[in-house]
A and B are shown apart, each in its own frame.
Chain A
């Protein structure tokens, strides 16, 4: 039935893409998949290769159940709907409310009667008195705009870090601390994440995006310790991706407090203040070079005043519903009944569904409601259909993570947390091996400036604070230009290398 590669399966997660709208869904037979106002008959999707594009055919009626049909190409109506004439420019175009004869009610009627997107858009174009007066480009733009609203093509994609991170960012950047995809990609290279390596990631408040990203790059080889603060570790992105059990076995989670019990921070520490490192007073570009040359930089300013009583800083979220045990399945935050409605604020969303949380409530099937009830009542990990995919119990996980960290030879350290990073970074640096990199992500620049000086005091090298400027382009014949709106910022990154400053005479070992 399929030539190559995986097919869309029952029970797995997929990203459904409809235009610029992305949604994560677990596809289940005998269920429908909600897409904005309409719902898609899942049975029609199963069995086709992952990545297939489908045209949605209206089932008619108020229910708006769409029947998917796999297609080779999607249609760009702008090419298909050609006007007899167009204007050279817009000098004669008048802006008034009377140019469109079709009413909203008539369009809704057409939809209910099962008209295709093409028919609806063609009708709208035909009923527009100003259409002929537009330029060719303007006509195409108009058609594409209408098409977006009545667009009936979707594709079903395998969830990858790229898609999941982009989706969360599009939904609400603040939910993931403004961690834009390019910043995420730079965290991975800044730490030189490679399969077989051992990585320590402290993440909180980022929906486990960085954890999933490192896990994807490990591909079942190596290890990742996910350090979290209080309660249970976030799992959203990790659960969204269909990781195999081998890949998930690379992940162990450890509570920061547990780590501190075994490896206490300096108990005489005071609360974190701005770093006490001396002002470099050097010329701009060689600030670091200058510091490297001074004798002062040689001395490892093991700064006890930097270590802090971390307990004061932690966000202690009380553990949810007692201690979930076996397999960590209870730790997971399952996708709400498989239906997470994410909008891009596009036309397709009715007022009722503009609040994603409310929408989720509306569309939950009975199974989803039950699963929510089970979580709320604090029962154990779900049984039956949802088999635990985590290799170890929470205790085993902690033990494994502790053993790994005790060697203090991690290959990379990554911080991406809502708390101020400076004391956490100072504390966790000890677990990193020498000649290995660390990277800290922060939505704000100022905390990273403090971290810069703190790490300088620790003797680290190649310290760099950066941000990335990202701009998308519209590329069309005769109409290529940067997009009108662009992201204002995607967070900041501090990176550097830990080294050993106890002078090692080049001893000859022959």
Chain B
């Protein structure tokens, strides 16, 4: 159960992150056999560009070590929620680490936090939340899609974090969270988050809490902010954060030699002969640089955060 806490060696049933190269990372469940497409149990052999890997051979290996395969090798990494986000099976569009990071910090999550999440989706954010609120917190996660809700619950259980989460098949926009004053934070990633706002308010503790709504479309954001204000949420903040990665390289640039006089052998009309050109260039320079990748994520979604103040007491 390698998601629960760090371990040093691979055991049967673990999820191992197999790293071949930056574009080839896979999450593998360590088992002797695996069900194939026809539904039969077959030996668990994972095919890669570097050859085949008998998955059961991973058992006993130290996490972080190299794994030999027929045409090369890979690394067996210990899973983390961040690596899981990069390798999990997508059942929906997921949240990536830059947004997840901001959510965890802005919702002030820490061990002991009680969180409501709707929808569960593919469980990308859920795993990050679980890591952050364990061992004393709890995650209530909801999805209106029955199969997704069930698959997520199975995954949580297989990953050893089932005790910290309750996954429910429920439409929170129509039916609410069925929770009263228990949550420190609520996270909404829904088509109509504004419908869930009053239920979110009910689920949050009387001592107040934080809320986040993630929406790709600005219309959703506008309606949500409107609803948040109407229900007494304060400190509204809507933002976008996009991560920009740099290609780090040592670039070699040729340098034009300005000190040399142009040759005066009569060909002053600017005819370029290769030898003349080469003579005008100095020894090339090596430049250590990081340039952005040619494309970068332009938009994931707008994050709206707000605070629910504590309920007024009737004292003094």
Closest to A470 in B: B241
Closest to A74 in B: B234
Partner of B19, one of A73, A445, A462: A462
B241 touches A468 (CB 8 A): yes
Partner of B222, one of A48, A197, A480, A497: A480
Interface residues of B in 230-280 (CB under 8 A from A): 232, 234-250, 252
B248 touches A437 (CB 8 A): no
Interface residues of A in 259-284 (CB under 8 A from B): 274, 279-282, 284
B248 touches A5 (CB 8 A): no
Interface residues of B in 273-304 (CB under 8 A from A): 286, 288-290, 293-294, 302, 304
Any A CB within 8 A of the CB of B78: yes
Closest CB in chain A relative to B141 CB, distance in Å: 19
Partner of A162, one of B105, B207, B236, B315: B105
B247 touches A284 (CB 8 A): yes
Partner of B104, one of A50, A188, A220, A279: A188
Any A CB within 8 A of the CB of B40: no
B248 touches A435 (CB 8 A): no
Known contacts: A286-B21, A504-B62. The answer to whether A186 contacts B98 by CB under 8 A is yes
Any A CB within 8 A of the CB of B128: yes
Closest CB in chain B relative to A43 CB, distance in Å: 11
B128 touches A50 (CB 8 A): no
A480 to B217 alpha-carbon distance, docked (Å): 12
Closest to A180 in B: B241
Closest CB in chain B relative to A114 CB, distance in Å: 22
Known contacts: A185-B101, A216-B110, A506-B58. The answer to whether A434 contacts B22 by CB under 8 A is no
A503 touches B80 (CB 8 A): no
Any B CB within 8 A of the CB of A116: no
B236 touches A475 (CB 8 A): yes
A162 touches B108 (CB 8 A): yes
Known contacts: A181-B105, A467-B244. The answer to whether A3 contacts B6 by CB under 8 A is no
Partner of A503, one of B73, B136, B181, B316: B73
Any B CB within 8 A of the CB of A112: no
0/1 interface trace, chain B 187-226, chain A, CB 8 Å (1 if under): 0000000000000000001111000000000100110011
A181 to B303 alpha-carbon distance, docked (Å): 14
A452 to B289 alpha-carbon distance, docked (Å): 11
A280 to B288 alpha-carbon distance, docked (Å): 11
Interface residues of B in 54-92 (CB under 8 A from A): 54, 56-68, 72-73, 75-78, 80-82
- Residues on B with beta carbons closer than 8 Å to the beta carbon of A282: 249
Partner of B64, one of A72, A73, A292, A435: A435
A434 to B63 alpha-carbon distance, docked (Å): 7
One of B142-150, B151-159, B305-313 at the interface: B305-313
Any A CB within 8 A of the CB of B29: no
- Residues on A with beta carbons closer than 8 Å to the beta carbon of B131: 192, 194
Known contacts: A5-B206, A188-B105, A435-B77. The answer to whether A504 contacts B313 by CB under 8 A is no
B222 touches A162 (CB 8 A): no
Scoring A181, A436, A469, A509 by chain B CB atoms within 10 A of each residue's CB, the highest score goes to: A469
- Residues on B with beta carbons closer than 8 Å to the beta carbon of A506: 53-54, 57-58, 61, 67-68
A161 touches B105 (CB 8 A): yes
- Residues on A with beta carbons closer than 8 Å to the beta carbon of B252: 279, 281
List 15 additional A-B contacts (Cβ < 8 Å) besides A468-B241, A500-B65. Answer: A72-B312, A73-B232, A185-B105, A189-B104, A220-B111, A286-B22, A433-B8, A434-B64, A453-B288, A466-B244, A473-B238, A499-B65, A503-B73, A504-B61, A508-B56
- Identify the 6 closest CB pairs spanning chains A and B, nearest first: A5-B207, A435-B64, A219-B111, A434-B64, A509-B60, A279-B250
Of the A-B pairs whose beta carbons lie under 8 Å apart in the complex, a sample of 17, sorted by A's number, is A5-B208, A185-B101, A185-B105, A190-B82, A195-B134, A196-B135, A219-B112, A284-B294, A289-B22, A435-B75, A436-B64, A437-B82, A452-B248, A466-B244, A475-B304, A500-B64, A506-B58
**Which residues of A approach B to under 8 Å, CB–CB?**
1-6, 17, 47-53, 70-74, 155, 160-162, 181-182, 184-186, 188-190, 192, 194-197, 213, 216-221, 274, 279-282, 284-289, 292-293, 411, 433-437, 445-446, 448-450, 452-453, 461-473, 475, 477, 480, 497-510
